[in-house]
Structure formats: C-alpha cells, structure tokens
Amino acid sequence: MSAPGWRDPMLATLTERRFADRAWLFERKLDGVRAICVRDGGTPQLLSRNRNPMNGAYPEIVEAIAGLGGDRFVVDGEIVAFDGERTSFATLAPRIHLTDPERARATGVDVYYYLFDLLHFDDHDARRLPLRQRKELLREAFDFTDPLRRSEHRDTDGDAYFRHACEQGWEGLIAKRADSPYHGGRTRDWLKFKCVSGQEFVVGGFTDPSGSRQGFGALLLGYYEGDSLRYAGKVGTGFDSATLHDLHDRLLRMEEKTSPFAERVAERGIHWVRPEIVAQIGFSEWTNDGRLRHSRFLGEREDKSPTEVVREEK
C-alpha cells in the first residue's frame, strides 16, 4: 500500500527534432500553469511546480475535481484560460497570484484543468506503469466535465500533428515515450516541439522610464548557467498601467547596489534588484550575441523558482 502525496513533476526537454513514431504519444502543449493535484480523503490540494498552494486562485477547479474523482489520488495537469481558441498565459495571469477564492472568481476569467497523467490512485502508486497504461487508468478514474478536461493525444504522425498545431496557433506539442514510467525532473522521455519562442526569465534589474511612461522603462532579464545569472536582454512592452505600478513598487523594495548579472550590462538609468521575480517572456528569436529579439512581457510566474530558470536549448 502507498499513500498519496506530493510528487515531483516530470519535465520535458526542448528539441527541434520532429518525427512520427508509434512508440511515442503526441499531446497539445498548453500555455498555462502546471498543477499537481493531491487528495488523501479531504479537500484536493492544487500545488504548483514548486509546491505553492493554488486552491485560492482556482476554487472552481478544486470543487470540480472533488466531485468528479476518487477520494485518494495524485494527478498531473495544466490549468489554462483561453483567448479565443488558444490557451493563453496572459489571459490566465490575473488569477495566478490570488489567494482569495472570491477575488479569483470576480476576475471573470474562466479556467480549465487539463489532466494528462495519473500518478497515484487509491492505495496504488502508478508511476512505474507505462504512460499508455496510466492514461487509460486516468480516463477510467475521473468523470470529465468542465472545468475538468482530459488532455487528448495522438499515437503517431508527430511531424504532421506539429504542422497542424502551428497552423492552429498552438504553442506546440509535447511528445512522450509511450512505455516510459513517470519520474520527476527533466527527461528526454518527454520532448517539447514549440511553434513559438518563449520561456521564463529572472528579473535582475530595471531602467528608468522615459517620456510620459510611469513606473519603469524596461525589465532586465537573465537565466542561470550554473551559479551565474547570464544577461539575456530587456523587455519593455506587454505591461498595462496596473502592472507597471505594482511591479515598480515591489522592485523598489528589492533594490541592490550591485549587479546580479555575470556580465556587464550597458543600459542607462539602471536599478539592480535581488533576482527573485520570474517573468514569462515571448520573443521572436535569440540573436547571435545571446540577446532576445522582439521580447514581450506575458506575465509573472510563481510556479518556478529563479534558480530553475535556464536557457532552453534546442
């Protein structure tokens, strides 16, 4: 017998290799927040990738999974919101930091929980089972009614499905080895095929605003390479006035006298900060000198710690 509890999430590796293989499953890559849900007889607990509680931000999901699943389980999935037909982190962002269920509902942002893996059910640890079997058990264990949804997959034709994903404006696909067990941490048994460029970055500073702009001009971004925070460039678009004001107030309380970056940053009006905030950034590409091109702020992340943020290599 085994008791349900926290399980470290399994993480995919970015790749440019596209393939069709019957030994792999292919799922839509969702642009939301990863969520492990644990229930041991009481209220289900939604936990982020770094174990932050999220019940207050998504009360309707907690209620739904309590009524549509068993009494003891651990499942893995993604919480999303939609902008039209596309999942959108930016649309979800207003709910991410909330802890009051009433405030979360009052945002008017509809959320859905897509389940894609079953790690534990009743007294049984399912992680050693092959993925295809875990997915079948997941389908049988839950009733899927909104806001609870099951992540669909294809059994082959990953290259054709990837072209379809990009045509539909999806973020990409996740390819998963069908016979793989579930184990925490980064793995090549799960691969990311991305249609758009984007990832998390650590905020290491900000610049003064210019003209009529309030708050700050741009955020200075970096990623970790070993123990060093490497400079990746800046982002100055994608902020509304409320975000500019809120972030600026918090950044002022985090100011430091010295740069957290490993290399010299040549910008005017710089203020250094403790590298504690993680931001989701969209961008068109990396330049040859390792800087972001056409970057845009999409939202702040609380489900990842700064030291987890590395440059996603293809």
Catalytic site positions: 29
Residues near 115 by Cβ (< 8 Å), separated by ≥ 6? 75, 76, 77, 138, 142, 144, 148, 149, 150, 151
**Local structure of 181: helix, strand or coil:** coil
Residue from 57, 180, 175, 77 nearest 126 by CA: 180
How do strand 185-194 and strand 10-14 relate by DSSP bridges?
Answer: parallel
Angle at 34 between CA 31 and CA 40, to 5 degrees: 150
In this structure, the chain runs to a length of: 314
Separation of alpha carbons 210 and 207, rounded Å: 9
Structural tokens at position 116: 């894609």
Residues near 262 by Cβ (< 8 Å), separated by ≥ 6? 225, 228, 229, 230, 231
C-beta separation of 66 from 39 below 8 A: yes
Separation of alpha carbons 133 and 135, rounded Å: 5
Per-position b or e across 254-263, b if 16+ CB within 10 A of its CB: beeeebbbee
Residue the block writes with tokens 């999901």: 61
Structural tokens at position 252: 């002022």
Q: Which amino acid is at 289?
A: D
Secondary structure letter of residue 266 according to DSSP: -
